[in-house]
Every structure is written in structure tokens, then in C-alpha cells.
Amino acid sequence: MSTFSPPQEKPSIDTFYRRKSSVTFDLPPTPNEELLSSCTVSSPTIDITAQVVPDTMLVALFDRSSEMKGLVRHNKTYFQSLQHHIDDKWSRFETVLYCERSKMSDKEWMKRISYALQGLPSQLEKFKELVGYLGEETEQGNQDYFSNVNISLIRDYPERLSTESYPQFFINCQNCLCNEKEYNQFISSLFSKDLTNSEWETKVFNVLNQYPNLLEQLQEIVAYETELE
């Protein structure tokens, strides 16, 4: 056991000055003072490796595809619930889910995820929390992207553009078009197999150019349904 040593009493200021020589000089630094002096002159540095976050990164996942697999493993109950709701589209959803950022930007990726979960708003919000979604893209940016979509591509997959898959789109069409006859004519053209792609696009655009919101919705649907084909 170490012996307790009380702190040494320091001489009083008066005693100190009585003992001080009339000749003053700087004493050599003690080892502790040398250490302090060297730290003051040249502070030690710590190398920190930082990753630059690009402006196009909208989710807090640096290696998105591999980190996404980790999120799925640690949130099994949530993703099992998604699989139950998405049902037969789950395999296509997984393809998007694990797609590498080099093949699909965060902007496109979140759009696909959002469309797949459009009927499950609470589940979509939970997904955004899990991936650390950093915020919505500007509306103009989205419009510019989807305006380049070739909508005739959906004709190769007519079963994917159905009232069951996208009920809100068809409800919006019914609400916007003047009457039931016009709506039925539009639907007939939309699913027609007898028209060439050029004729089909002309008929669809003739109707939807009057309703930019509907056209944008269709473009987004086509982009999601045909992106990975």
C-alpha cells in the first residue's frame, strides 16, 4: 500500500521575495515545461479521413446496395410487411431496392420506391427514415427528368398499367376528363393493341397534353415500370 503524502506547503509570497537574489535570470525549463512548450509551438495533428458527399446523394447510405441489405437484415419485420403488401411485385421491388447507385441515382431510386409504396404512405415514411432520406427534389427537376420518358414502352407490359396497380391515376383521369364517354375513349386508346406506337402516342398526348399533371403521372408510372427492362 502506498504511503499517503500530504501536499507540500508552498512558501509564502513574502518569503519568496526575501530569498530571491537581486540578480534575476530565467531558469532552464523543467521537463514538464519543455513538454508544454513543444505542444504550444507545434500542436499534434490527427488525420481524419472524410468522405465527400455529392449533391446527388439523397439518402444517408454511402454504399447504398450493400448497406441496404444490412438494413433489410436488421428490420425483418418491416420488410416482411412490405413483401406481404407488394405481393407478386416483390421480386421487381427487390431489384430496385438493391440497385447500385452507379446504375440508378438516388433521385430515380427514391422515385421507384415511392411509386411501389404509393398505397402505403406510413410504410413509405418509415422507409425514408430507415435510409435517412435527405429531402425532396425540386418539382421542376422531376418534371425535366420524366419528360424524356418514352411512354409507348408501357405497351409491352399492359398488365403493369392496370386499375389495380395504379387506382389513383385512373381516378384522376375520371375526375379530369369531361365525361364518361371521353374517359372510356381514352382508356380504349390507352390499352389498344391495333395502333402503331406513333398513332398511340398521338391519341394519348392529344388527351393528356390538356392535363399536364395526368401526363406527368403517366410518365412516372412508365419510368418505374420499364426502367430495369
Phi, psi at 106, each rounded to 5°: -60, -35
Q: How confident is the model at residue 225 (pLDDT cuts 50, 70, 90)?
A: confident
- Three cell numbers written together for 114: 415511392
Domain interval for residue 90: 64-137
User: What is the pTM assigned to this prediction?
Assistant: 0.48
As a whole number of Å, the end-to-end CA separation of the chain is: 78
| Residue 200 within any structural domain of the chain | yes
Predicted local confidence at residue 42, as pLDDT:
52
Q: Rounded to whole angstroms, how far apart are CA atoms 148 and 132?
A: 28
> pLDDT digits over 86-124, tens only?
888 898 899 999 999 999 889 889 988 988 887 788 899
Are both 198 and 219 inside the same structural domain? yes
Predicted local confidence at residue 192, as pLDDT:
94
Per-residue pLDDT for 154 more than 90?
yes
Predicted local confidence at residue 46, as pLDDT:
54
Q: Which of 137, 169, 191 is the last residue of a domain?
A: 137
